[in-house]
Structure 1
Amino acid sequence: MEPILNKDEYTFYLIGNVDDFTERLGRVVRLGKEEIAVFKTTDEQIYALENKSPGPRGGTIAEGIISGEVLFDPICDWKISLKDGQVLDPDTGQVRTYPVHVHGNEVRVGLVKNEGGRFHE
């Protein structure tokens, strides 16, 4: 079941075109104070997660490898769901996710309104 998303709570920012993202490889996008790791799966789904490892050693996740809808964290060797950011068993934790809207070829990522600093595209 997909989470209910009230799009009125988000401002969506253009981060590129679908073709700008390489399948199974992460790309870092900065929106204001947010550093976001964006991934495209082999079935053309695009996911956006906070570029921060939930593991005890910290680090980033953009260098992770994608298999299906699972990200393999390069620092902790943990598996993270791209759908909801949940770390898969036997480990625990979660990565913040961001809503992605694809319209035509344009990819936009949503940030909660009134959260963080204001900036222009």
Structure 2
Amino acid sequence: MNMQTKNWIDVGSLSDIPRQGARCVKNGEMTIAIFRTADDRLFALEDKCPHKNGPLSQGIVHDGCVTCPLHNWVISLETGAAQGADEGETASFPVKLDGETVLLGL
């Protein structure tokens, strides 16, 4: 089996996710936050800041990043990497749109 193959899971429609906001889905013990930017791009990250495990889904989405609500760490939505002088990374997942349906790759 090709290890690149993803299971694409329907996690709702684009309208379920507020612009510059997030919606969470569970994957076993992990919570994954699906973010929507102002220009309707979608990103998926584990809902856990690499600093103190803050809930990124409750942060502010801006300029392709999310700011953690606990200590204002800025995390790249594309890579999950902390920006600036901060170090660390949270898991990122592929996400795509099929019409209005949001699909998460696990």
**Aligned partner of 2:48 among 26, 47, 52:** 52
Q: Deviations over 1:43-96 (max 9, x none)?
A: 1001110011100x3232110101120111111211111011110011111110
Give 2:37's aligned residue. 41
Match of 1:10 in 2: 6
Q: Unaligned 5+ residue runs, structure 1?
A: 1-5, 112-121
Aligned length: 105
Flag as ranges the 4+ runs of structure 1 deviating above 3 A.
Answer: none
* Equivalent residue number for residue 74 of structure 2: 79
Matched, 1:110 2:105: yes
Which residue, 10, 17, 22 being the options, matches 1:21?
Answer: 17
Q: CA RMSD in A?
A: 1.6
Identity over aligned pairs, percent: 31
The TM-score, its normalising length taken from structure 2, stands at 0.91
Q: Contact between 2:54 and 2:68, CA under 8 Å: does it hold in 1?
A: no
Give the structure with higher Rg (CA): 1
